[in-house]
Amino acid sequence: MDLAMKFNLAHMMEDISTGVGDGDDPEVMKNSVEFLMQKKQYEKAVEIMISLNQFEEALTVSEQYGVNLKEEMAMKLLPPAS
């Protein structure tokens, strides 16, 4: 992620962000969100926001930029069933 941001490779960020996991550095992920937002890669930014549990921010960006939430993304935004 750091190399993709350093060399301004937004297309690589798209591929990398699909593999975001629990062991990833949260600070790098936050920087990735900022980078993707600057490059107008809103859907990927929203995916990372959701993985960082930034649900309200993800919804705000989705609404503001017309991001269509995939079913998997939408399910992560739902509160757990009681």
Q: Give mean pLDDT, residues 40-66.
A: 92
Chain segment 9-49, per-residue pLDDT in tens: 665 555 555 545 666 777 888 888 898 898 898 998 998 89
Note the Cα 40 to chain centre separation in Å: 12
| pTM of the entire predicted model | 0.73
- Amino acid code (one letter) for 62: S
Name residues whose C-beta falls within 8 Å of residue 72's C-beta, 6 or more positions apart in sequence. Answer: none
